[in-house]
Amino acid sequence: MDDMKNYDVVIIGGGPAGSTAGIYAARASLNTLLIEQGMPGGQIATSDTVDNYPGFPSISGAELGSKMLDHAQSAGVDVDYTMVTGIERDDSGDFIIQTDSGSLQAPVLIMATGAQPRTAGFDGEDTFRGRGVSYCATCDAMFYRGKRVFVIGGGNSACEEGLYLSHIAQDVTMVVRRDAFRAPRGRVDRLLERDNVDVKYSTSIARVSGDRLLSTITFRDNRTGEEYDESYPEGSFGVFVFAGNDPVVDLIKPFIDLAGDGGVVTDESMATKTPGLFCAGDMRSKKLRQVVTAASDGAIAGSAAYAYLETCGRL
């Protein structure tokens, strides 16, 4: 086994939460390592445009994520692009992190692994993600001002996001795979009171297609199996998928409590029930999952890491 490398803080996840946690930890003179298994930015790296992060009226998600991680490195954070294969806690309370690059030890672990939106599974969903297929109305609704949107889902989040979109888009079509919504009646009634909202019941989206942006959407009638196309000018409509989110928590399940939404329970300092373990960003149980809230969580976690080490006499 490779020699154990020791750090004050190890951060897992190179998105906005992880990068910001690294900046604050490094600026507190903590020996900090950030581990990212993919590309900088996490989920935002798949967004064609981000226009609601303060100071950047329009920037690609990949560029914003890269700038954040570059900032962390310039502050003194070490970065390793590798896969984490396991996490344990030794008798002293330190975390032992196993990676494809070797073994690490640290008294503080900040998890910022995010949440993955559940996909609907239609053909073209991955191809047009960020180019007509979206999973966040708060993030992307403004790109469809005065345009047509199709919202997949019949639960609470789909109704809430559909209502939000109805104030921005010209037309909102709810695509519900069953013959009724699953959301509470009052929430559904509020949505359907909107003049620009209609519903396709017992319907799924089979595929989407187009050139650079969407131009054709194929529906499937779930009662008959019949499929039919609707075509519009390229870029004049979008598809929003609201099938829920799954926080990425598998590596730390023994050390945390989960809330009803599947997110990690933390206190205001981002601390979990396990001393020295902090969680930041979209993996937390929270109301709003945005770049700015992830960065805020990261700042708190990085600062809390210093306070924890000081209290423990590890500085």
Catalytic positions, please? 136, 139-140
The answer to whether the CB of 301 falls within 8 A of the CB of 110 is yes
| Closest-CA residue to 117 (of 101, 136, 89, 94) | 136
Structure tokens at 47: 């967004």
3-state secondary structure of 34: strand
3-state secondary structure of 123: strand
DSSP 248-308: --GGGGGG--B-TTSPBP--TTSB-SSTTEEE-GGGB--S---HHHHHHHHHHHHHHHHHH
Secondary structure E strands in the chain? 5-6, 9-12, 32-36, 78-81, 84-89, 95-99, 102-106, 108-111, 115-117, 133-134, 148-152, 171-175, 197-200, 203-210, 214-221, 227-231, 237-241, 245-247, 277-279
The answer to whether the CB of 180 falls within 8 A of the CB of 157 is no
Q: Are strands 9-12 and 108-111 parallel, antiparallel or unpaired?
A: parallel
- Report the distance separating Cα 305 and Cα 106, nearest Å: 11
Q: Is 146 left (phi over 0), alpha (psi -120 to 50) or beta?
A: left
- Report the distance separating Cα 192 and Cα 225, nearest Å: 26
